[in-house]
Amino acid sequence: MTPPEETGQGNSADTPGVPPAVSLCPLETIRNRPDFLRAASARRQGTGGFLLQARNRGDDSPAVRVGFTASKKIGNAVFRNRAKRRLREVARAVLPALAKQGWDYVLVARPQATVSRPFTDLIADLELALRSVHREGGK
């Protein structure tokens, strides 16, 4: 490659790129079994594409935590991973706007439905489920 004829042409290595999108509520991933079990014993809302489990942690942390579950009922590893990927993208699209701070959410995949349901329907399902869970007397 030949260098530019004049200075100031091209991009230098220290030029910042596009800044990443900033969310108003930080999303954290639930990884511990006891946290999943606590969410499972709290509120539930079924939808056509998945089951939403939600609980108010009652702490002062502003973080919203989210977990994803796909059992072997979903199918082999390919289908389970596809279901979890779809649920992660739905959560990234909806939770920053509608989730409440200090809450845990677990999205549980449903056999055949999570993988085959149109993505826009999954987004609508999560929006409806969040409104329903928070309408039932949540803080």
Q: Which fold has domain 27-135?
A: Ribosomal Protein S5; domain 2 (3.30.230)
Q: pLDDT at position 137, please?
A: 59
What SS3 class is residue 66? strand
Q: Where are the domains of the chain?
A: 27-135
Single pTM value for the model: 0.79
- Residue 112: both structure tokens together: 């055949």
**Each residue's pLDDT tens digit, 9-66:** 555 555 444 344 444 567 899 999 999 999 999 999 999 999 999 999 988 888 999 9
Sign of the alpha-carbon dihedral angle for 131, 135, 136, 139: positive
Helices (H) and strands (E) in the chain, counts: 4, 5
For all residues of the chain together, what is the average pLDDT?
85
- Is the pLDDT at 126 greater than 70, yes or no? yes
- Residue 5: both structure tokens together: 């004829």
